[in-house]
Structures are given as C-alpha cells and as structure tokens.
A and B are shown apart, each in its own frame.
Chain A
Amino acid sequence: MKALYILALLFGVVSCDKPKSAPKQPDPTLSAELKASDTPILPIKKGDYWKYKVRVEIPAGVTSEGASAVDVDHQKTRTFIGKVTAGKGLPEVDAFDVVSAGQPIERELVEIHEDRVLMRGSTRPETADAKPMWIDPPIPFVIAGMRPGQEMANFSVKGSDRKRGMKVVAREKIKVPAGEFPVIRLLMTGNDGKFEIRRTTWFAPRIGIIKEVKARYASDKLLFRETVELFETNVK
C-alpha cells in the first residue's frame, strides 16, 4: 500500500509540473521587415533611365575675383548599360552612363546585388587615356533594411587623398517633380585633398537615386553646390 502511495506521489509531481509561459521571442526587428520590403534593392534592366533636373550654384567671387554668382539649371540622364569592364584586368561590373549637356559622359561603376549596391568607382569612357577610379574592395552604397544611426564604412581611395564616410541619417518621404517616394537619406562627408565634401543622397529602394545635394568647400568657403532632382524614370 505504501508503495502505491509513493508511486501516486511521484506521478502527481510529474503531472503537476505544468510548463510556465515561455519567454517572449524577440519581435521580428523592424530591420528584417524593412529588408524584406527593400529587396530586391534595384531590380533594373539594360536601358532603364532616370532623368534629373540639375541646379548648380556657385557663389560670387569663387571662379575668379569679382566674378558674379552662377545659378544655372540643366538636365542630366543616368542610363543603366548593363555589365562592362572598366579596364584591362578588371572584372565586369554593372554600369550607368551619366550624360549632362556639355560634359563628357561619366560612367559610374557599381555591383548590384539582391540586397545591396556596392560602389566600384567611375571612369570616362570617351576619354581614350582616362584611367578608371577603381575601388577595391567595393564599398557599400546602400543595403536593404538600413536604418538611421547606421554608419557605412569609412574609406579612402587607394593612391589618392580622397576620404569618405557615410551615414544613414533617416528614412523619410521626399517629394520631387517625379512624385513622392519613401527614401533612405544618406549623408556622405569627406574630402578630396584640400576640398571638403558634403553629399546627401535620397535613395528609394527598387527605384534608385531620387535626389542628391553635393557641396564642395575650400578655405572656409562654399565653392559650388549641385542639387539634382528626379523628374522622370521608367523604373517602377
């Protein structure tokens, strides 16, 4: 009888040990949701284009002493040309040709992955002896799911005194002539030798660059500011 009592007690202990509520799992982070909504980050095909309104401001006295201020508008078109090689011995990368009136074509070299765009450099394809500016290893320009407060790599370009640092400042909405877009606001600061640079880029995942403001300073003076705004694109 005693034995039965012991057994009953043991079974009672086992059956009364109900599992307590498990600790809460961390919620899927906002980053993960953003990453999913940002991916693919730039689903584009050869021939896709982005047309921009460009405003260039040069304060008085910058180009020469007594020179008046310059404030001009023009257009710029960025076209995706697919994969190209920037030079002998360099791998094939994705490229955009940027055409502005009166300027030689500038070819922007990047690597477009599913969830990120990496900077690879630039070159001038029409200038025969132009050496490409090649960034190795590539530098992240934009990554799906990026959030304010994240800092991208600080980097310097080999063989030059160019330094850059990039930060994610905000995720916000921006209105430009092409419409309103949810964007990632990126701030790049750095220098090209004695020139200080401040560049803000508004990048819309799945669409591309929506707006850019580039400013250059030297000797405590603004040298020029270029404001670029998207007014037409076939990317949707």
Chain B
Amino acid sequence: MKSICLHILIAALMTGYAFPDTGDGFKFGKRPANSIFDPSEVLTLKQQKEISEPLKVILENEGIDIVVVILPEIGEAPPMHVANGFAAKWSTGPAHAVVLHVSDHSGTPWIKLGGAVTTTIKPEVISEYITAARKRAAAEPNDYEKIRAATTEAADALRYWLGGAILRSESLITERLRQQMAHEKRKRLLKLSAILGAAAAIPILFGLVVLIIRLRNRGSKVFPGTRKIARLGAPYSGGGNAVS
C-alpha cells in the first residue's frame, strides 16, 4: 500500500507541468481569446479558426462555453483531473465543456462537461454519452479531426440538454399556470355562486321584512279595545229609547 502511495506521489511530483493546480497555483494563465489553448501549436492557425469560429457563435447565441486544451503531455496525471482544473479556471456559464487533447496519449481526446445543465441530467446518461462521443472522436484519423469531432460532440450534447432543460422548465411554468388558472376559476365560481345565493335571498328577505312590518302594524285590530258604552241585547233590542 505504501509503495502505491509513493508511486502516486512521485508521479504527481514528476508531472508538475501538466498537473494544473485548481487553486491559486494554476500556471496556465489567462484563457485564450479564441478558446483554444495550444502552446505546442499542434493545430495550424487555419485549423484553430475552423474550430473556434463555430464555438464562438454557439457561445454568443446560446451561452454554451467550450474550451479546447491541447497539451503535449500530462505524465501520469488523470486526464479528467487535468480537464477539471481547466474547467474550474476558465469555464463559464450554465453549460460548458473542456475538450482536452494530449497528442501522444492513448484514449485522447477527453470531454469534461459541466455547468448547471449537467445537474439536470442523470450522471449515467452523461457518462454513456461521453463514452460513445469520446470513442467516436478518438476514431478520427488525426489530431485536428479528433479535436474537431470532440468539440462537435460536446456542443451537440450541451445544446440538446440545454434545450431539453428549457423545454422542461417551460412545461413546468405552463403546468403551474394551468393549475393557477384552474384555482382562480374555482374561486370565481364560488364567488359567483355566493353572489347568486345572496341575490336569491334578497326577495326572500324583502318579503320577510314586509311581512314583519305588516304584522307589527296590525296590533290593535287583533285585540279590539273594551266597550265603554253598555249595549243592551235581547229582549231589550228595541234600543235604549224603548226603556225610557
């Protein structure tokens, strides 16, 4: 175990050049203006332009940021660790990628995808896509074609996933609006039924009020006052004068 750790440590020390420090010790400086870092000039200027121009358009139009890093060697450093270091320093935006190419390394190029959009995709989906994409890019016959293919693969994947994320968020917003509208509709119906109920109660209340008023005004008719003048009935029905 000790010897394995020692080997890893020696490898890490020996590959100091290619092992970018993701902290302040990052030694590759500023990101190149054309998004292609190629210190050993593996690509010609024309080839760089052919790769960087479509990437620039995608960055401007869709905010998808792809950086190409071409290194002469990375020693024993894990390629994805190297790519991560560049991504941490140079990549921006919600969807970004680093395409790392190391000319004499088997398995080159590598694609590191990142940004918020990748968090919306299952890791196994990303892994499956990257494996297939890397395999196709690695099958290309020369450095230029490998890099061009890898950048196209990375851009296609990010554009597709970003588009999917936008569609999903739009459908969520639409669904939320639909629910809100249904809720508002229910509220409106309840309000309307309350108003109609109240409107129906108005004539009933009116009738009740009228009835109450009438009943109150009837008081003395129901209970007539006591007669104060004596009235003679039969057998004196001839009237008061008959007696006198």
Q: Which A residues are closer than 8 A to B by beta carbons?
A: 2-3, 6-7, 10, 13-14, 17, 19, 22-26, 29, 59-60, 69, 147-150, 167-170, 172, 187, 189, 196, 198, 200, 215, 217, 220-222
Contacts and interface: CB of A to CB of B under 8 A. Distances in A.
B189 interface: no
Contacts of B223: none
Helix, strand, loop or mixed for chain A's interface? mixed
A6 B139 contact: no
A13 B164 CA distance: 49
Nearest to A13: B198
B195 A17 contact: yes
Contact of B184 (A10, A23, A169): A23
Contacts of B173: 26
A21 to B, nearest CB: 10
Interface string B164-184: 111110100110011011001
Contacts of A222: 139-141, 145
Interface residues of B, number: 43
Given A169-B160, A198-B136, A6 B141 contact: no
Contact of B174 (A2, A26, A147, A148): A26
12 contacts: A13-B198, A25-B177, A26-B174, A29-B174, A149-B162, A168-B163, A170-B163, A187-B156, A187-B160, A215-B136, A220-B135, A222-B141
B8 interface: no
B163 A150 contact: yes
A158 B188 CA distance: 55
Interface in B194-212: 195, 198-199, 201-202, 205-206, 209-210, 212
Contacts of B37: none
B161 interface: yes
